[in-house]
Structure 1
């Protein structure tokens, strides 16, 4: 891992390390840091480019930052994320901020308890700066909701930011905060990471608790860390893992959790790595050419950085993998069960009530109605679970046969969708239905256009065997450091150069 030397603090692209260095030097306080992020949100979210990412700002954030500054002066750092502002997807429960899942049906709902991971973040010293937009109830991939409307991509204001964690992706890209939490049922951490030139990790199912997160599909749901750098992603992951009695799936993670995921961050981390290129996940038509070109260059970079590539011609299509997903089959049972649980004190108690209320965005109506028409625990449902098990065996066998460290492919076969269109041809389903860990890192940009002055971001995805998050971070870090593809968005520059 590369350590940062003391340099004058710059807010844009700030990292945990640069912030803590500025704290130690006396150049910066948590109150000053939070104030600067609030200024950026004020300048860019509902004015200027109107990125429309923030649903709710923490009204107590400056007082909480001031308390951390006092603790710093009295006894030093309170934890590894001391004073670090975090952006939470608004399906993660917070008692002090409303949790709406982006839906007017939950407007002004204050949960009775913080989510397990929110408690973990607070214990680590983090500051919850804001709740950010998502595709309502995390149901689709464009990040539009009845609470806030459409979140905008800061690299191209005519495009979506991916989703469903698009508010997190946009806000991180635009430097509204340092770290972000997304959730991922099919693509939803990695899609906005790809579309916003940030890093997104979908961990092995069970590494991170889901307690206090409004569910979609417990078979596939997980939270995941998002950040502008792989190092900050690793630092955040350190603070999110842990066994949770209320989420039994986390029990299996106990013997697999690493004490410090930053130990894997080596500049030469790609040397002697063997990576399988999953060609069946690449597009073959004209609309795919730009993404293919960017990802071909990424493959060359992997080789230049010491990895060896194995071409895999498996008859495994992303569309076929999607047919193994149970997310819509579980939506009614799992979300309605959560809404109906009296311990959660929800204002609506079923999908049917949400539909009857009319307090939701039209983009999710067809999904809600389809979910209500699907039967849970049927032969068709069991066959999908069996298909998931077969896919796990196939991937494990391929990786063992070829002695692979990871698989690689474009996260999305085409550029992120324009506003008003649906996301198409995303490849995140493979990790989602197998439960295997997956990492998306910036791979480059499309050609500049009038609407995207530096191009549209494209992310490349790596998938590894269960509990190999450290290996994925090692691969991603070496690729990131060797390519430096991340760029600040043109529509959210440094405030000193902001001019509309």
Structure 2
């Protein structure tokens, strides 16, 4: 391959298109990585999606180009379009900065851990590199991945590229905003309650929360053993599927559904469309008061989501020649109610089922004290004493175990009560899937728009249901709100699908089909001088 091969436009570049261009000699990995680095230099000073850029990215790209030449020569008998490349060969990845890497610090977004290093890559990063990926940059996240506005003491406040007066969701919001703005090809995030799907909803991309256990979380800064997962993010479901195939560790998981399906039934979870009445007791993710502005935003979210569902239904019309009728979807309303005496409301599940505050301190301390980690702090108490963290961003998951480590521990009776609720919820969800014979439930990920910059709590998200049940869930673009001066293209709105136990691959297949029907993603209109609109 000529070292002078021209680059291709990296805007909305997918893995298959990139690999085809490499095989045909139309670009090089060095050129593509260079193009992403140029976009980062142009846009990231405003959007603040990244914490650290890999200083060796171009060197690694040149090494991968030499490898490309060897691979193509070895496959000289194949046509240029069929010569095989490793799944992520040369693919520039944005990595949330809670994945440990042997060559870059891992901060969790906190100044206190800015110099934390690891002797080796986390297991997921090792798999990425073995499949040919280049870690382009470490992305900003909400402090310690504890909430959803992507505010951190080290990375600052990441902005939403569609409306820089709003947050990008979180906690994987740096990865989400960077992918939306085409600062990398694909990305990796984590999800404890909402954190892969929230940025997907807010940034018009795809975020996939795998079933618990499908991706090895070893070497990732932990929050909750019960709820943590690592997962892929991208601008399209196809790229997310490629990335998931590399990330997943089937030897660690339960048996999964891998067969292809052609007939799907999707339950519309009506109670997750409407704003909840504010709860009587406070919660770290409680809904705001039902202010007129939020009521109006909820009406828009419902309208966009229901129009998306209408498009899915109309796509089943045999007269529609633009849709693959080999796949059939039936939508089934699931009435709002207490399901077999289990309250599914997000506020109830957050207040009574969320395990973060009971697990965070112990699991973080175990991580910091690992012989693989070199850290300036070896305990949550030490970090708190340093003061080098954003006190407004850390939430009660950080503070409660410090105030009462016996109550907020895995040994407490309250923790056991939450585990009991989780088991009841799992049974209730399983019974609803069986009763209505559905393959997935559908609902908007967020019931109103991502909030304006300022507060560090992102309310009204629906991710807790999948987080507590351990089921796979994916968020894809559903559409946009009407345009405003702050959001000239509108605010992105995401559609979430939660699947069957272990049905990760089937859910992604369904999501890719629906994505093709909706075609809802838009590229953000972000000007060359760093910001659209100007503040």
Scaled by the length of structure 2, the TM-score of the pair is 0.85
Q: What are the superposed Cα offsets for residues 170-228 of structure 1, whole Å, 9 maximum, x if unpaired?
A: 00000011110000000000000100000010000000000110000011101010000
Q: Is contact 2:400-2:408 (8 Å) kept?
A: no
Pick one of 445, 448, 454 that aligns with 1:420: 454
Q: Is contact 1:71-1:78 (8 Å) kept?
A: no
* Matched residue, 1:402: 436
Distance 1:305-1:479 versus aligned 2 partners, 3 A rule: same
> What secondary structure, in the 3-state scheme, does the structure 2 residue paired with 1:460 have?
strand
Deviation at 1:472, TM superposition (A): 1.2
Q: What are the superposed Cα offsets for residues 243-269 of structure 1, whole Å, 9 maximum, x if unpaired?
A: 5xxxxxx6334x4385xxxx95xxxx7
2:495 and 2:257 mapped to 1: Cα distance? 25
* Matched residue, 1:207: 214
Output aligned runs, 1:120-269, within 5 Å: 120-242=127-249, 251-253=252-254, 255-256=255-256, 258=258
Deviation at 1:321, TM superposition (A): 2.0
Task: Compute the RMSD of aligned alpha carbons.
Answer: 2.2
Output aligned runs, 1:51-90, within 5 Å: 51-76=47-72, 79-90=86-97
1:412 and 1:124 mapped to 2: Cα distance? 34
2:300 and 2:355 mapped to 1: Cα distance? 32
* Matched residue, 1:272: 263
> What secondary structure, in the 3-state scheme, does the structure 1 residue paired with 2:68 have?
helix
* Matched residue, 1:411: 445
Deviation at 1:361, TM superposition (A): 1.1
2:527 and 2:120 mapped to 1: Cα distance? 34
Pick one of 296, 303, 313 that aligns with 2:313: 303
Q: Which is worse superposed, 199-208 or 101-110?
A: 101-110
> What secondary structure, in the 3-state scheme, does the structure 2 residue paired with 1:223 have?
strand
Distance 1:464-1:257 versus aligned 2 partners, 3 A rule: closer
How many corresponding residue pairs? 474
Q: Is contact 2:42-2:528 (8 Å) kept?
A: no
Q: Is contact 1:230-1:476 (8 Å) kept?
A: yes
* Matched residue, 2:42: 43
Distance 1:399-1:493 versus aligned 2 partners, 3 A rule: farther
2:229 and 2:529 mapped to 1: Cα distance? 33
* Matched residue, 1:390: 424
Deviation at 1:328, TM superposition (A): 1.5
Structure 1 residue runs of 4 or more that deviate by more than 6 Å after TM superposition: 497-500
Q: What are the superposed Cα offsets for residues 447-480 of structure 1, whole Å, 9 maximum, x if unpaired?
A: 1000100001010100011211122112211111
* Matched residue, 2:393: 364
Deviation at 1:442, TM superposition (A): 0.3
Deviation at 1:493, TM superposition (A): 7.2
1:278 and 1:226 mapped to 2: Cα distance? 24
Determine whether 1:107 maps to 2:114.
Answer: yes
* Matched residue, 1:349: 378
Structure 2 gaps, min length 5: 1-6, 73-83, 276-294, 317-328, 339-343
Pick one of 348, 356, 365 that aligns with 1:320: 348
1:343 and 1:470 mapped to 2: Cα distance? 33
2:527 and 2:26 mapped to 1: Cα distance? 24
1:130 and 1:184 mapped to 2: Cα distance? 19
Structure 1 gaps, min length 5: 1-7, 244-249
Q: Is contact 1:301-1:479 (8 Å) kept?
A: no
Pick one of 258, 272, 279 that aligns with 1:281: 272
1:430 and 1:202 mapped to 2: Cα distance? 12
2:226 and 2:332 mapped to 1: Cα distance? 31
> What secondary structure, in the 3-state scheme, does the structure 1 residue paired with 2:189 have?
strand
Q: Which is worse superposed, 409-418 or 315-324?
A: 315-324
2:158 and 2:116 mapped to 1: Cα distance? 21
> What secondary structure, in the 3-state scheme, does the structure 2 residue paired with 1:208 have?
coil
Determine whether 1:476 maps to 2:518.
Answer: no
Deviation at 1:499, TM superposition (A): 12
Scaled by the length of structure 1, the TM-score of the pair is 0.91
> What secondary structure, in the 3-state scheme, does the structure 1 residue paired with 2:47 have?
coil
Larger-Rg structure: 2
1:302 and 1:87 mapped to 2: Cα distance? 32
